[in-house]
């Protein structure tokens, strides 16, 4: 986590060692970066910056403090119809936005959905666009 000096905004910094990545992982990383640069939706994790040095890649993203949806499902065991409706509405809104922008996520699962804060379902972020792919409409 880092804090912007001027605004005090908190950001997450994902650091990836180049030496630990094979060519497929590198391709997926750049695919994700290129797709995230083009998308702007309240339920898609926002990427603010991407840079690299000789040894590492750095991705600066908005921070989500609520953890994975998967972990929350395991912790609760079940949740209400109201919570499910709030969650699914956001997921479908995100999917619709991606499809309108000619992008298919291709790896949508509870592990790739983060809760923004606490354990509330009213703010989710879809992550991991590494296997996403653009498509052309007929």
pLDDT band for 3, please (50, 70, 90 cuts). low
107 is catalytic: yes
pTM of the predicted model as reported, rounded to 2 decimal places: 0.86
**In this model, does residue 73 exceed pLDDT 90?**
no
pLDDT band for 114, please (50, 70, 90 cuts). very high
Q: What is the DSSP letter of 46?
A: P
Say which of 24, 107, 120, 138 is annotated catalytic: 107
């Amino acid at each position: 986590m880092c804090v912007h000096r001027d605004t005090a905004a908190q950001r997450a910094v994902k650091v990836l060692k180049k030496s630990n990545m094979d060519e497929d992982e590198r391709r997926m990383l750049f695919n994700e970066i290129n797709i995230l640069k083009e998308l702007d939706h309240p339920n898609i994790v926002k990427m603010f910056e991407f840079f690299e040095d000789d040894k590492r890649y750095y991705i600066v993203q908005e921070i989500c403090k609520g953890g994975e949806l998967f972990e929350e499902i395991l912790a609760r065991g079940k949740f209400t119809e109201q919570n499910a409706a709030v969650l699914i509405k956001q997921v479908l809104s995100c999917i619709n936005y991606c499809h309108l922008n000619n992008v298919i996520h291709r790896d949508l699962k509870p592990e790739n959905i983060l809760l923004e804060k606490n354990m509330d379902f009213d703010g989710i972020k879809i992550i991991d666009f590494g296997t996403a792919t653009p498509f052309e409409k007929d």
